Structure 1
């Protein structure tokens, strides 16, 4: 699933291309990808409106219209947005096409059809998308160690799982939680309530630094993005641990290990992330005293 850096990339590519353009017509091939309102009403309300600014909230894209209405989009696993010339070959799983007054089209495709779109009117409360339940943006100035400790510091769950809780931190998923914990030197299975104040401070620094790093590495031109059909802009060459089980750690050359935490794969370095040894010894001590 695309995470915060990928959605930020899509925002920066798509937003400038559609800003100020009016929607002349809309074709909906798969009505079920429109979660609110019904597809007919969605098209009726949007036809003739003009795109304004495009923003991001966690893993959600928000396309604002000059009227004050907004389209919220979640790409989920395989969703993709492309701005194309009218005669550009259409992707097989294209579900919605917005035709604009400059002759180009904004197309939404999704192989697995998990992605969703919501249209909210200017004063309409968002009780549909779940975006209002998101936690703090990790790139915001008030993303602090105090915030992290207050939201997660009493949790018994593994810190890896806690970093992926969208109600606490918006936008981090399986890939970047691995990268963040490696950079912070924290064992992914550590209970969040075992982290020290110093470790929360370290996470508060590492989280925005790593996400910003991957946003920079994701930079791609609109032409390249279209040429690769929005698929080849991700950070695979720059990932240090995710997906590298059995390979040498980029820091100490120890073989990277993999475990499953909360049903999700996690790759880590047993040497650089030595919390595993400390945590296990602490757990054994507690068990012996019971």
Structure 2
């Protein structure tokens, strides 16, 4: 799980993935396994927001691994039983193959010129659609996370809650002592590195970076909003465990600057222009072809 959490964090924060050389097995079942490469591919396919959520949620990371393993196990079993050779499955595979060929060919022959859009086009689109680049208020948080297993009994809950409360108290005393230069081992970062079970943030002293307010769990958001920068919260209970939070800074809602979204906007405008070109191409190619209504009715009647 440690390597897996590190992987999500590296994708999220832009660390080169080549530092995780090899292809270690992350999870195993009787007929299938999930490898480091599998997870790397999945994490890289997520949106930036999805990566942020994943890096901050160990339980979600576990669910991703299990769902991937389940899919690979089912696929292995189906192939072992020859399911992939069934006529209806072969027909569906062939339909999917045709769809991929057509979609990628259309995108290729209808791509806009390499110099589209121009910088002027980009600035005009940005000025016209600034609402699309609005960002919510964000909180720069650090956390110490104590996990609680699903369906844990009361004794387990009590033990985890007491541990979180003790760590919160140590963090508060460390913050107070830190103002006069003492109790280094009780500062928040040291406590998070030694105790937090969210390894992705623990390796950074619990630092989660700036997290959009809308992406925080309600209980976490409410607790964080009650803090002032530098303060440490009491343990916050969620479905997966206890969170001890430290508010580091806040960032108000605003609009992402043009320079930050320029390339994203370029990709969007090129995709829109490609789609427009595709529609015109299809209309020219076959859009005006006459339809034999009698033959169409016979075809429909034959399958009813």
**Superposition TM-score tier, normalisation by shorter sequence:** under 0.3
Say which structure is richer in strand.
1
Which structure has the greater CA radius of gyration? 2
Say which structure is richer in helix.
2
Larger RCO (CA within 8 A; separation ≥ 6): 2
Give the structure-1-normalised TM-score.
Answer: 0.23
Give the structure-2-normalised TM-score.
Answer: 0.22
